[in-house]
Amino acid sequence: KPHTQRAPTTSPHRHRSASLSTAATVTMFPPSLLSRAPSPPLTTAPTSIASSQQQQQALRLPPSKQPPLATTLVAAAAAGLLLLSPAPAPSRADPEFKVYYGTAASAANYGGYGGNASKKDTAEYVYDVPEGWKERLVSKVEKGTNGTDSEFFNPRKRSEKEYLTFLSGIRALAPLNAVLNNLALSDVGLQDQIATADDVRSAERADGDGQVYYEYEVAGAGAHSLISVTCARNKLYAHFVTAPNAEWGRDEAVLRRLHESFRTIQPGAPPPATES
């Protein structure tokens, strides 16, 4: 007989154990997965589009309260230009100053009433006066002896003042050093300042019209003076700004402004107009 090979037999009990083992292996899931809610059903296309729009609205950021970058850069550039721009020079119409028009009239024609409302058209010189300073009326005797034509003073300290003297018949300036000594001959206060001065400075300058001015600065023991001298119309004009040392230390910038404002008016030239 031909030999017939039998398939190996498996015990029913053994087959059952294998099945149970396989089933146990397949069904062992973590509890967290077993408790998860079922996945939501698929939605249609319109619902997906609406959901996308809602997400975009939810993710939309609020508008920024800060200005745009371009605006910020423009503002910064403008501020930089303002900082780099030079400060404007003070004009003659500054509210802290007024312009005085002097005529240098002779003692015979001098009325002694003060003021300068009607002097603008006949003015021979001008200088600035601080607001609040008072004008001292010059007598005919004083005008005839030492040539004082005008004077203003600080009411808080009368010795802080500016004034102008003139002398007729002078066609040209003498040497720089000689002029200051000649001025001191008729001014006792200036004599004392020069005698006790720690420093005396002198210089020569010319304005835009070619008018020559001598400039002096006298730093005395008790007072400080700035003097400007020039010749025009066959007259010598001397403008003085003087103050005690205490007032000089406080008001130096203002006093130098007064000194630099003095100038003569050429014959036939219109008086300087104040800018508004």
User: Lowest-confidence range among 16-25, 54-63, 216-225, 264-273?
Assistant: 16-25
Q: Indicate if the pLDDT at residue 90 is higher than 50.
A: no
Residue 46 pLDDT = 46
Bridge partners of 125, per DSSP, are 102, 264
53-67 mean pLDDT = 52
Whether domain 97-264 has CATH 3.40.1000.10: yes
Instruction: Work out the percent of the chain whose per-residue pLDDT is above 90.
Output: 50
Range 190-212 average pLDDT: 94
pLDDT tens figures, 204-259: 999 999 999 999 999 999 999 999 999 999 999 999 999 999 999 999 999 999 99
pLDDT higher than 90, residue 80: no
CA–CA dist 238, 126 (Å, integer):
12
In this prediction the pTM is 0.63
pLDDT for the residue numbered 76:
56
Six-digit token string for 264: 């003569």
Which pLDDT belongs to residue 267?
84
What are the domain boundaries of the chain?
A: 97-264
pLDDT band at 79 (very low <50, low <70, confident <90, very high): low
Tens of pLDDT along 94-123?
Answer: 559 999 999 998 877 665 555 544 688 899
Position 186 scores a pLDDT of 86
- At 35, the amino acid letter reads S
- Confidence at residue 269, expressed as pLDDT on a 0 to 100 scale: 74
Q: What is the pLDDT of residue 155?
A: 97
Average pLDDT of the residues in 182-199: 92
Q: Read out DSSP for the chain?
A: ----PPPPP--HHHHHHHHHHHHHHHS---HHHHTSPPPPPPPPHHHHHHHHHHHHHHHPPPPPSSPPHHHHHHHHHHHHHHHHSPPPPPPTT-TTEEEEEE----GGG-------TT-TTT-SEEEEEETT-EEPPPPHHHHHHH-EEEEEEETTEEEEEEEEEEEET--S---HHHHHHHHHTT-HHHHHHHHT-SEEEEEEEE-TT--EEEEEEEE-SSEEEEEEEEEETTEEEEEEEEEEHHHHHHHHHHHHHHHHH-EE--TTPPPPPPP-
What mean pLDDT comes out for the span 144-158? 94
Least confident stretch, 24-38, 52-66, 219-233: 24-38
**Confidence grade of residue 64 (pLDDT, cut at 50, 70, 90):** low
Question: What value does the CA radius of gyration of the chain take, rounded to a whole number of Å?
Answer: 50
Specify the pLDDT at position 66.
58
